[in-house]
Amino acid sequence: MSKYEGPVTKNEVIDVTIEDLTHDGAGVAKVNGYALFIPKALPGEKIKAKVVKVKKGYGFARVLETLAESPDRIEAPCPIYNQCGGCQLQHLSYGGQLRFKQKQVKDVLERIGQLPNVTVHSTIGMEEPWRYRNKAQVPVGEIEGGLVAGFYQERSHRIIDMDECLIQHEKNDHVVTTVKNIARKYGIRGYDEEKHRGTLRHVVARYGKHTGDIMVVLITKGQELPNKKNIIEEIIKEIPNIKSIVQNINPKRTNVIFGEKTMVLWGDEYIYDTIGDIKFAISARSFYQVNPEQTKVLYDKALDYAKLTGGETVIDAYCGIGTISLFLAQQAKQVYGVEIVPEAISDAKRNAKLNGFENVTFAVGEAENVMPWWYAQGVRPDVIVVDPPRKGCDEKLLETILKMQPKRVVYVSCNPATLARDLRVLEDGGYQTQEVQPVDMFPWTTHVECVVLIEKK
């Protein structure tokens, strides 16, 4: 039990004013300097709240009644918004979300990066911020003996059965519902996480926005898929434009979605899509940005910040399937891409060939190991582009960048906190953060991507 004696006690009901939002979208109120985190509350709102948990430096409360509403509050259009953990901001107007994301980036740069004077531009949003996702990964389970497929309830592993998600492309909804109905018809068992039994673990749908191509991936616990032939025939019949049906086998007790083994059951191994003028081959496990429209905005900005004139050598660390590399190759003399996932590099090489680029070299490995090797071979980058995972750049990679001394670094970030930490390291090593452009890749969620221009002092 908590022994903390603070300005509030558990189960106390108090009136508070919301001052801010946390990075995961909860409202923040202060009671004599003590922070209370209140989900689904918005800045400026006066609310009656019930304290549900008290810790030493902060506590949690829930809204009992809203006494004064924010002008940015809207009615969430999704019927399961309050149960599903997929979106966090459907109660906040779209303009309010864009301002929240800009402020979040600014605050973190000041607090963690000690960079109070860097220009953070307004977040670039979408004209139509719904139905943007080109990939659905939907867990399948059993409830009272029946197969269900949907998203997890917030902070739980209970599946909420659903037939549509407002941020998914309609084609993905159609795929998931169709596969679910066919699986039910043939008595396929959903996966039970606790008992580690059942057949179908996940359904993954991928959609090429500009080509219309559709891929269905059935992730199963074992190789066995009863009535496989009938299931394949029905999927082909029910889903127009389907190009690929794939089975992935994941026998492990894990919450990782994909297993190691993938087999094409019908059609092609790849579907295709384009970003700008560049065509990409996408396999079941390829990493490909889920919002193609905003990806183009993001990459155009990265290209703009790289300031290429045609004579530059560029290194793309964390290159994935070569998406940014190929954008850069349109305007650079030579591009080197490095990525730790071997399948991604095979895809990157295929994509370079597909588009006829001969000024791109790809290598498998950790960027912090491959880049010094390139340097030893005489590669002198004018520009280094990094697009790391949420944990940010590896420390050794930042040291390597500082040794290589490029004129410019373009940092594409999906986590403002690790971005701020890494910018501090580059600043201390003789670089200057010039400007930051947030891009809203995931409307209605708290996530924000940024592109940052960093130049040698």
- Mind telling me the catalytic residues? 414
| Burial (CB count within 10 angstroms: exposed 0-12, middle 13-18, buried 19+), residue 238 | middle
Q: Which tokens sit at 116?
A: 């109070």
The answer to whether 295 touches 323, Cβ cutoff 8 Å, is yes
Give the separation between CA 277 and CA 9, rounded to whole angstroms. 59
50 DSSP β-pair partners: 13, 62
Q: What is the CA radius of gyration of the chain?
A: 24
Cα gap 292→285, rounded to integer Å: 17
CB burial of residue 23 (10 Å; 0-12, 13-18, 19+)? middle
Classify residue 99 as exposed, middle or buried by CB count within 10 Å of its CB (0-12, 13-18, 19+): middle
Rounded-to-integer distance, Cα 373 and Cα 363, Å: 11
d(CA 295, CA 284): 19
Residue 48 phi, psi (nearest 5) = -95, 120
Spatial contact of 49 and 59, defined as CB atoms under 8 Å apart: no
Buried b (16+ CB within 10 A) or exposed e, 117-155: ebebeebbbbeebeebbbbbbbbbbbeeeebbbbbbeee
DSSP 173-229: HHHHHHHHHHHHHTTPPBPBTTTTB-SEEEEEEEE-TTT--EEEEEEESSS--TTHH
d(CA 27, CA 300): 34
CA 45 to chain centroid, in Å, comes to 30
* CA distances (Å), origin 431, targets 104, 424, 426, 428, 438: 23, 9, 5, 7, 20
